[in-house]
Structure 1
Amino acid sequence: MRFYLTTHKRHWVRLTEVPLFLKSEHFTTAAKLYPARGPYAVDSGGFSELQRHGRWTRTPHQYVQDLRRIWECVGPYDWAAPQDWMCEDLIIHGGTAGPNVFAGTHLSVGEHIHRTVANFLELRSLAPDLRIAPVLQGRTIADYERCADLYERAGVDLRREPTVGLGSVCRLQSTHQGAAIVTAMAARGLKLHGFGFKTLGLERVGHLLASADSAAWSYHARKRPPLPGHTHKNCANCIQYAMHWRTRVLASLPTWQQPLLDAA
């Protein structure tokens, strides 16, 4: 299992060989991009797009151009997420969560699933040479099964894909429902990536995942004083804190999981 550190600091790719997970928008707004020292994957930024606008504002053609620039300037990435459609209540219905306002798509879960699959097919048609991974979306096990079946009917053999993202589970990962969804999809023989997985989720279903990413280190850092000798207010943007956090997370997992998880 490959464990990616999620960060908005794009220059970290030149500072560490630890696997990183970065939003494409953080690359596309940069005047200069740096070659990556280690492996990395690219998030499409779908959660932020749908939160703010209730729709995608970048066309598939624009996204493909962004991915090509990243590939050429930063180096080959492990994989990139498509422009998928998350299925959380706030994304669909809109509302507020703390200071965050959600526009809402006001579409059905079924429509989100359909649009997720359709976008992947379009992106793969536009750029068959780029490593764009299919993503499963849904709310229930039946939803995810229906999404997987849509891919299969479109001619996408998910079992042969090197990565299949599992969306809309980050808030369910430590629950019985979340574990059941991961278990059901893993039973199909898929190499799953868990978006936004934290310690409890990894402890429960980490052995069923091929990879996972997490930005939880930044949230933790905001609640704590900075590391000794650090002069910033907190370490929410600090690579040293992120690396310490990653080490602690890996060490806290069951012993039989650690060697696989720690592999870069």
Structure 2
Amino acid sequence: MLGTHMANWLWDDDPRLDGVTLFISRNRLARRVSPFPAARRDWALDSGGFTELKDHGGWRTTPEEYAAEVRRYSKQLGRLLWAAPQDWMCEPWVISGGTIGGQHFAGTGLSVAEHQRRTVENFLELQRIAPDLPWIPVLQGWDLADYERCARMYADAGIDLAAAPVVGLGSVCRRQATEEIARIVDYFASRGLRLHGFGVKTDGLADYGDQLVSADSMAWSVGGRRNPRLSECTHRAKNCANCATYALRWHQRIVNAPPRWRQADLFAA
């Protein structure tokens, strides 16, 4: 999936975007008051939970309000593949607060186990409120033992994760320990879970992308902001942080790249 903050790409008539599945944050849709045009391509919805917990230390939107929002997006836009629940990320800085990488975190003051309990509880509540909408369960944690505990919470609630079309894997996008994440992915993929990796780094995709059914990333926008504007681009912006040409070129490069283990074989040849 191509993660993007450009919500208009959902309905833009640019034919280059056709066939590309987009990943959009609720934060980019919730501001719009007027009806949405019909989407021209498939997409999935991120709940915007990281920003919510980072800035406010908790969810300000009730499950009922969130479900109503998602129903509006699904009805007006259409082509919604799935929507993430109001999950609770488990990074230490999300829990403890402070300033990390120049970003201030309010901190929740809760435990990893409590974040997991609230994540599972929210998924169950959203299913109860709006069973017609395509909610996906999300595994949250920090180390493998945490994720195993979260999986048991779902099992205890009667949710068979192996039967779910997609299971989100949270709290991985801002982590540097790619090998640790690879072990977590391998553990659950080997048990038949069809995983979506939220914000997986490029290195992660090379290492374990073949064990995910999907992943999203905004790395293209960061690169577009830091690198010189593409010579063929005619937009007024000084960089390509919002540029479909840059995003699609990045996306194709990632999609076409062989896994790292295959790269080694190619270089050896």
Q: TM-score range by the shorter chain?
A: over 0.9
Kept after mapping to 2: 8 A contact 1:43/1:80: yes
Residue 69 of structure 1: which of 69, 72, 79 is its match? 72
Residue of structure 2 in register with 1:205 after alignment: 208
CA deviation string 1:135-157 (max 9, x = no partner): 00001111111101110110111
CA gap of 1:249–1:6, structure 2 versus 1, over 3 A, is same
Task: Please give the alpha-carbon distance, in whole angstroms, between the structure 1 residues aligned to 2:139 and 2:154.
Answer: 9
Tell me by how many angstroms 1:171 deviates.
3.0
1:174 Cα shift?
5.8
3-state SS of paired residue (1:162): coil
Give, in whole Å, the separation in 2 of the partners of 1:110 and 1:94. Answer: 17
CA distance in 1: counterparts of 2:175 and 2:51, whole angstroms: 19
Query: 1:29-108 alignment to 2 at 5 Å?
Result: 29-30=31-32, 31-108=34-111
Structure 2 matches for 1:207-226, cutoff 5 A?
207-226=210-229
**Kept in 2: contact 1:173–1:197 (CA 8 A):** no
2:242 counterpart residue number: 237
Following superposition, the deviation at residue 32 of structure 1 comes to 3.4
Instruction: Quote the residue 2:252 is aligned against.
Output: 247
Whether 1:5 aligns to 2:2 is: yes
- One-letter identity of the residue aligned with 2:219: A
Tell me, what secondary structure is at the counterpart of 1:79?
strand
Count of residue correspondences: 255
Higher relative contact order (CA 8 A, sep 6+): 1
CA displacement at 1:243 relative to structure 2? 0.5
Structure showing greater radius of gyration is 2
* Cα root mean square deviation, aligned: 1.7
Q: Deviations over 1:109-133 (max 9, x none)?
A: 0110111001101010101110000
Three-state SS of the structure 1 residue aligned to 2:165 is coil
Aligned pairs for 1:135-150 (under 5 A) are 135-150=138-153
Matches within 5 A, 1:165-180: 165-172=168-175, 175-180=178-183
Q: Per-residue CA shift, 1:144-185, capped at 9, x if unaligned? A: 111011101101111111010000112347622111111111
Question: Residue type of the partner of 2:184?
Answer: I
5+ residue gaps in structure 1?
A: 258-264
CA 1:111 to 1:77, structure 2 compared with 1: closer, same or farther past 3 Å? same
User: CA offsets per residue over residues 179-228 of structure 1, 9 Å max, x none?
Assistant: 11111111221000000012210111111111101110001111111111
Q: Match for residue 130 of structure 1?
A: 133
Counterpart pick for 2:166 among 151, 163, 177? 163
> Percent of counterpart pairs with the same letter?
51
Q: Is the 8 A contact 1:202 1:253 kept in 2?
A: no
Paired letter, 1:248: R
Q: Distance in 1 between matches of 2:98 and 2:223?
A: 25
Larger CA deviation: 244-253 vs 215-224: 244-253
Q: Residue by residue, what CA displacement relative to the aligned partner does 1:210-257 show, whole Å, maximum 9, x if unpaired?
A: 110111000111111111143311110111110011112223333998
TM-score w.r.t. length of structure 2: 0.90
CA distance in 2, matches of 1:35, 1:81: 21
In the alignment, which of 11, 22, 25 is matched to residue 23 of structure 1? 25
Question: What is the one-letter code of the residue matched to 1:236?
Answer: A
